[in-house]
């Protein structure tokens, strides 16, 4: 099918989305009381889906080659932008490149930065999202809307979903010309990438599945990374409440419940305090970008990598 952007997305209720299975990976957005699910296997066939949220236009993207989903605000310098994928011929280091229709500038999907054209060097703002499974997203957002595949696109969803699930294994080399030099991890190891204050860090899923909870610092900011192994879902937060830094540990095997060591309050994996002195509080969420190591390391060459010992290494 043509790699054509979705400009006028249509949604349906979760109960009508019979083409979705619990293990299917998606990009989820919850904002202004509205929750929306964008199947990775569907978005990947288009490269980009343009949508409108209450706080402005967004672009939901998925690069199937580097296993990268990114959502960003589709506007720059006060102007709304619309993007088209440059296809396989336009890939840079095996990552999607989009060209906006308004200025002709070309944008790197992994970094949301213009690499050429009138807006070269401009950085688009990331929009809060989470990469998770349909079963988990629907559990948390039973009234979610689901992006309806365009005619002719639903037929490929089972095959593409299978490929995305198999990517969990991290097997295989990087595409030709896509992996320059960084062999600290396997090329197709999925990492949760985070950038704060000019510092980048990568959290390998193979490590996160074991440790589940990471207390770290990136760009001078204390951070909490939580990974739920069964659903391979990673969430991140600033690990402080007011002027106090909090440290966390998992309460159960799936890290669906946490406790902070400072106040002994109980939290869920999505930054909400369930009980204790801080009950009702929310941690400030961080935007993580899960993708293959070859892509993250290529566009973040000075990234640090988290290891099981709790140290990040250059």
What pLDDT, on a 0 to 100 scale, did the predictor assign at position 89? 67
Q: How far apart are CA 121 and CA 240, in angstroms?
A: 32
Number of domains in the chain: 2
What pLDDT, on a 0 to 100 scale, did the predictor assign at position 6? 97
Residue 168 belongs to a domain: no
Q: Is 127 found in the same domain as 196?
A: no
Residue 308 belongs to a domain: yes
Residue 150: how many other CB atoms lie within 10 Å? 16
What pLDDT, on a 0 to 100 scale, did the predictor assign at position 179? 64
What pLDDT, on a 0 to 100 scale, did the predictor assign at position 168? 87
pTM of the model: 0.94
Q: Could you tell me if 272 and 278 are in contact, meaning their C-beta atoms sit under 8 angstroms apart?
A: no
Mean pLDDT by 10 residues, the chain (314 residues): 84 95 97 96 96 96 91 95 82 83 95 94 96 98 97 93 90 76 91 96 97 96 97 97 95 97 98 98 97 93 85 48
Boundaries of domain holding 252 = 190-313
Residue 137: φ, ψ to 5°: -65, -45
Residue 164: how many other CB atoms lie within 10 Å? 20
Q: Is 134 found in the same domain as 66?
A: yes
What pLDDT, on a 0 to 100 scale, did the predictor assign at position 314? 42
Q: For residue 201, count CB atoms less than 10 angstroms from its CB and return exposed for 0-12, middle for 13-18, buried for 19 or more.
A: buried
Q: Is 305 found in the same domain as 229?
A: yes
Strands (E), 148-220: 190-196, 199-204, 213-218
**Which CATH number do you get for residue 223?**
2.102.10.10
Residue 181 belongs to a domain: no
CA quadruple 137, 130, 158, 88: dihedral, nearest 10: 160
């Amino acid at each position: 099918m043509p790699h054509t952007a979705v400009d006028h997305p249509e949604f349906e209720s979760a109960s009508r989305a019979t083409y979705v299975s619990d293990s299917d990976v998606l990009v989820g957005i919850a904002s202004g009381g509205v929750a929306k699910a964008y199947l990775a296997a569907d978005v990947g066939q288009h490269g980009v889906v343009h949508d409108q949220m209450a706080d402005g236009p967004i672009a939901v993207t998925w690069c199937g080659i580097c296993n990268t989903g990114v959502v960003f605000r589709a506007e720059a310098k006060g102007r709304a932008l619309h993007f088209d994928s440059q296809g396989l011929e336009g890939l840079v280091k095996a990552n999607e490149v989009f060209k906006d229709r308004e200025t002709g500038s070309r944008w790197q999907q992994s970094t949301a930065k213009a690499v050429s054209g009138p807006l070269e060097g401009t950085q688009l703002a990331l929009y809060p999202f989470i990469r998770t499974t349909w079963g988990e997203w629907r559990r948390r957002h039973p009234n979610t809307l689901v992006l309806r595949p365009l005619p002719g696109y639903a037929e490929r969803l089972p095959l593409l979903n299978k490929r995305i699930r198999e990517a969990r294994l991290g097997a295989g080399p990087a595409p030709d010309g896509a992996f320059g030099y960084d062999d600290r991890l396997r090329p197709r190891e999925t990492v949760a990438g985070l950038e704060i204050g000019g510092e980048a860090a990568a959290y390998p899923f193979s490590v996160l599945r074991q440790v589940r909870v990471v207390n770290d610092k990136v760009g001078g900011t204390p951070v909490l990374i939580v990974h739920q192994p069964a659903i391979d879902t990673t969430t991140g937060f600033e690990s402080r409440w007011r002027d106090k830094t909090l440290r966390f540990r998992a309460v159960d095997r799936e890290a669906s419940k946490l406790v902070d060591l400072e106040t002994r309050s109980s939290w869920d994996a999505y930054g909400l305090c369930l009980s204790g002195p801080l009950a009702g509080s929310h941690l400030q969420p961080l935007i993580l970008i899960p993708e293959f190591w070859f892509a993250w390391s290529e566009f973040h060459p000075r990234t640090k990598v988290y290891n099981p010992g709790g140290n990040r290494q250059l």
